[in-house]
Structure 1
Amino acid sequence: MGREGKNTMDLAEIFRVMRRRWYVLLPGLLLTAALGAAVLLLVPVKYQSQSTVVLLNSQKATAAYDGNPFLSTQTSLTGMADSLARNLDSDASIKDVKAQGLTGTYQAKLADNAQGPLMWLTVTGTDKAAVRKSDRILTAYAATRLKQFQTQQSVSPRAMIRMMTIVPPQNAVAQTKTRLEYLIMACLLGFALSMVATFFAEARKRPRSRPQPDAPDARPAEPEAQPATGRRTAGELEELVEEQTVALRQAPRWSRSADAEPAAAESPAHRSV
C-alpha cells in the first residue's frame, strides 16, 4: 500500500507540473507533431515484389527419367544457383538491368530453408507499379545470364541447365516497418525533450529553500567557575570549624543555674578585699 501510494503521489505531482507549465509543454508537443509529420513526408513508403525461380537439369541429363527434370536433381545445381545469384548482384549486372529499365534496388539470393536450387529475386522501390515491372525485368535477365554462362563454356543446347519460374513477380507490397520505426523514434524524442523543458522551467520557478539555522545545543550549561577571591584558604576553614565547635560546647545563658550567678557576683568582691 505504501509503495502504491507513493507512486500515485509521484504521478499526481507530474500531472500537476504539466498543468502548471502548460505554456512550456504545449509548444513542445506541437513541435513533436510537426517532427512526426516531417518523417511521414520525408521518408517515403517502400514497396517490394518478389519472384521465385528454380534451376532444372538439362534435357540430356533427364533422358533416363523420360525427360522429367524434377526427378533428376543434382547437388551441382544448387552450386550453380549460388554462383548465378552472386553474379546478378555484381556491379556489371546492376548496370545492365538499369539500362533495361529496372528502378529501385534488388537482391538475388538462395531461398531460405530451400532443399533444392531455388532462388529469390526481390526488387524494392518507392513506385508500386514500377517495382513489379522491375521484378519482371530481373527475372528475365537471370534466365538470360544463366544461358550466357553456359554459352561462354561452349555447352551444347541439350546439355544446358534450364531455369523455370516457380512464383512469378508478385504485386508490390508496402514495407512500413522502417518508416514506422523512424516515426516512433521522432515522437519519443520530441516528447522526452518537451518533458525535460517542462520540469526545467518548474525547477527555475520554484523558490530556493533557505538553510535552517542550527538548533541550540540542548546540553546543560556547565557551572561557571567561581572567582578565586570567593575561595577560603585551609587555615580559615579550620578556624571557622573551631569557633563553631566551641559555641556548641558552651551551655546557653538561660540554662545556667541561679546559684552560679551570686557566686559569679561574689568573686569580684573577694578579689577586691
Structure 2
Amino acid sequence: MDLAEIWRVMRRRWYVLVPGLLLTAVLAVGLQVLLPAKYQSQSTVELLNSQKATAAFDGNPFLSTQVSLTGMADSLARALGSDGSAAELKSRGLTGGYQAKIADNAQGPLLWLTTSGSDRSRVLSADRLLTDYAAERLREFQTQQSVPPAAMIRMTVIVPPQAPVAQTKTRIEYLVLAALAGLVLSLVATFFVEARRRSAAGPPRGRHVVGSRPRREPVPVDADA
C-alpha cells in the first residue's frame, strides 16, 4: 500500500479517523489540566574549615580546603536523605520532594540542596528550610562527637535558594506520548474498518480470485447437426 492509497483510505473512512483525532485532542487537554506544573528551587552551600584550622591563613577559610571536607559533605548529603531527616523536615512543614547531593563537577565540598513541588511559594520556603536544616545537622554531628566550637567545620551559603522554576519536561513527555498513542489508535481503527468493509464486499468484479477456477461457458449444441 503506497501513500496515495493510504490517503484515499483516510479520506474514505474520515468518520472513523476524525472522532479518534478529536478524542486524542481532548485527552491531551485533560492531561494538561490534570497534571499540575512542577516547580524546583535550588541552593548551593559549601563546607568550610574550622576557625582554628584557618588561623594559619589569616582567618580566610577559602584558602584552607581539605579532602576531609568533601568526605564530610558526602556524609551530610547522605544524612539529609535519610528517613529520619525526611520525617523531621516534614514535621517542620516541608512539603513536596527534596534532594541533597554533591554538586556536579565540584572541585570542593559543595552541596546542592533542591526542593520541588506544585506550589511555587512553598517550594521556595522548603528550600530555605532545607538549607537551614543542613547547617543544623552539620553542627549536630560535631556536637555528638564533643568537637570544640573553634574546631567545628562550618557551612556557608554560596547561592541562596533561587526563585522556583517550572519543570516542564515530564509534562511534555506525557503529552507527546498521549498524542502519539491517540494517533496510532485512530489510524488502526480507520484501516480496520476499511479491511472489514472490503472483506464484506467480496472480491472486486472482473478480477480473478486466487484459488478459484475460471467459469466455463456452456457450449451451444446445434440441434440440426
TM-score by length of 2: 0.89
CA distance in 1, matches of 2:50, 2:179: 57
Larger Rg: 1
Q: Which AA in structure 1 matches 2:27?
A: L
Tell me the secondary structure at the aligned position of residue 84 of structure 1: helix
Instruction: Give a deviation string over 1:63-106, Cα, whole Å, max 9, x none.
Output: 11110101110000000000000000001101111111111100
Q: Which AA in structure 2 matches 1:50?
A: Q
- Pairing 1:18-97 to 2, within 5 Å after superposition: 18-97=10-89
Tell me the secondary structure at the aligned position of residue 50 of structure 2: coil
Q: What's the offset of the Cα at 1:42?
A: 2.1
**Alignment pair present for 1:100 and 2:92:** yes
- Pairing 1:74-153 to 2, within 5 Å after superposition: 74-153=66-145
Moved over 6 A (4+): none
CA distance in 2, matches of 1:102, 1:211: 73
Match of 1:211 in 2: 209
CA distance in 2, matches of 1:13, 1:49: 53
Q: What's the offset of the Cα at 1:26?
A: 1.2
Question: Kindly, what percent of the aligned residue pairs are identical?
Answer: 68
Match of 2:221 in 1: none
Tell me the secondary structure at the aligned position of residue 123 of structure 1: strand
Q: What's the offset of the Cα at 1:211?
A: 2.2
Match of 2:218 in 1: none
Q: What's the offset of the Cα at 1:215?
A: 6.7
Return the match for 1:181 from 169, 173, 187.
173
* Structure 1: segments with no counterpart, 5+ residues: 1-8, 217-273
Instruction: Give a deviation string over 1:153-207, Cα, whole Å, max 9, x none.
Output: 1111100000000000001000000010011001100110000000111111123
**Alignment pair present for 1:164 and 2:162:** no
Q: Which structure has more helix as a fraction of its residues?
A: 1
TM-score by length of 1: 0.74
Instruction: Give a deviation string over 1:96-144, Cα, whole Å, max 9, x none.
Output: 1111111110000000110100000000100111101100000000001
Q: Which AA in structure 1 matches 2:185?
A: L
Q: What's the offset of the Cα at 1:59?
A: 0.3
CA distance in 2, matches of 1:141, 1:112: 22
Q: Which AA in structure 1 matches 2:97?
A: T
Which structure carries more relative contact order (alpha carbon 8 Å, separation 6+)?
2
Q: Which AA in structure 1 matches 2:209?
A: P
Tell me the secondary structure at the aligned position of residue 186 of structure 1: helix
* Structure 2: segments with no counterpart, 5+ residues: 216-225
Return the match for 1:14 from 1, 6, 24.
6
Q: What's the offset of the Cα at 1:208?
A: 2.6
Q: What's the offset of the Cα at 1:214?
A: 4.6
Tell me the secondary structure at the aligned position of residue 52 of structure 2: coil
Tell me the secondary structure at the aligned position of residue 154 of structure 1: coil
